[in-house]
Amino acid sequence: MRRLVAALQHLSSLAVQDAGLESVAEFVAERIDTAVAVVDDQLTLLAASGGSESDAARYFSDPARRTRLAQVLAVAAPTRRALRIPGVAGVEPIIVAPVPVGDTVPAFLLTLDVGDFGSGEDLRLLLSEHAATICGVILGRARVLAAAATQARGDLIEGLLAGAGSDADEVRRWAAHLGYDEHRKHRVVSVVVVDASDGEDAARLPAAVARFFNTQAPDAITALRGREVVVVLPEQDDATQRALRLAERCIGRMSETFGAAPINAGVGGMCSSSTEIARSYDDARRTVDIVCRTGHVGTSLAVEQLGIHRLLLQVASRTQLRAFARQVFGDLLVHGNGTTTEYLSTLARYFRANNSPQAVARELHMHRNTVIYRIRRIEEMSSLDLRNYRDRLMAQVALEILDMVDLEEAIS
């Protein structure tokens, strides 16, 4: 009994010494002179210490014993008490002690019941059970630390994306903790699930996207944010646009895996420093928002490809953009009716055709006079003179704005 008390005290001390599972397995194996292992609920070996003749890792991984062990673990887990399993058919007897962590049993301490610990078998059982409890303390502590580290990492990423640092040095420290290399240029990629209502596949998409970038770009900082995955990705140089290529490959991979994957990607501008991450993320997020609003699915776009939209992105207020479009098109939007969409579509084609009614008429399969009539009605309802360069420019910019915001939103 004195030996048991001393052993239990030593095991308890391991819990406060920041020891690992290996220390517990080694101590029990030495005291009982047998093979000891800690395995998870899938029989994956977490720690082991050998006995007098057999190697614990090899013994507990033996395929011939795995089926029997799996059955024993299923019985032992609900009881949360150590069980002694007698040996049969040449298989040594074993003590199975569940390792409790909160309300779960994620692991088990397995001890070959062939060693010597005093004169009573119950003493070996008590030692194994207490050792399993200490393993639970160690695993619980590791989980708490891992959760805290994950939370801290998430907070750092959120701070960088939001530009929440109080000064440049603070932002650089945050980025350095995440592995950001100030000597390399980066871009931020935002990958968004467009529609999360398509069942289980749509729910699994964000995690699959995050795994893709973790695998294909291990040097990147990847964050899963609900339906969005944000990647701070090092670029090789200005010309190759690694970020855009990986975004396109990601969409292709997701389409192969999930079918028509409902995701879009936006790529922000180049970051020369971690202090520019927030700006690049803002570019990426607004870019993917534009792609989504235009009704595209499975599309990736870099902010540099937006044309005049890139300038319009600098106007943070959608209210200001809608007000400008309304001011330019006047009654055409303010008193919009069923013809508004037709007229604006005709006007957009008119500009793309270099103001040629004949080209628009051919494209829309209508008479040239119908095109001319629609252009005249647009001028009347908006007070625009489309023969004037400034008026044409304002109308073109207003049309680009309507590509960014829903037409119904602008009319309302």
Domain of 365, CATH number, reads 1.10.10.2840
Q: Is 274 inside a domain boundary?
A: yes
332 and 288 assigned to the same domain: no
As to burial, measured by CB atoms within 10 angstroms (0-12 exposed, 13-18 middle, 19+ buried), residue 74 is exposed
Q: Nearest CA to 128 among 248, 27, 229, 201?
A: 27
For residues 293 and 26, the model is more confident at 26
Same domain as 350, residue 251: no
Indicate whether 312 belongs to any domain: no
Q: pLDDT grade, residue 376 (50/70/90)? A: very high
Per-residue model confidence (pLDDT) at position 58: 58
- Residue 360 inside a domain? The answer is yes
Q: What is the pLDDT of residues 143-172, one digit of tens each?
A: 888 777 778 888 888 888 988 767 888 888
Judge whether residue 52 has pLDDT over 50. Answer: no
Number of domains in the chain: 3
Task: Please check whether residue 208 lies inside any domain of the structure.
Answer: yes
Q: What is the mean pLDDT of residues 42-48?
A: 86
**pLDDT tens-digit profile of 17-38?**
778 899 999 998 888 888 888 9
Taking CB atoms within 8 Å and a gap of at least 24, the contacts of 219-228 are: 219/179, 219/181, 221/157, 221/178, 221/179, 221/180, 223/154, 223/157, 223/161, 227/192, 227/193, 227/196, 228/190, 228/191, 228/192, 228/193
Residues 206 and 75 in one domain: no
- Show the domain range for 109: 2-144
Whether residue 185 contacts residue 272, with contact meaning beta carbons closer than 8 Å, is answered with yes
What the block records as the tokens of 75 is 């019985």
Q: What is the CATH number of the domain that holds 271?
A: 3.30.70.270
Clarify whether residues 300 and 324 are in a common domain.
no
Same domain, 207 and 112: no
Do 299 and 324 share a domain, yes or no? no
The pTM for the full model equals 0.59
Question: Does any domain span residue 311?
Answer: no
What is d(CA 288, CA 189) in angstroms, rounded to the nearest whole number?
9
CB 92 within 8 A of CB 118: no
Same domain, 129 and 203: no
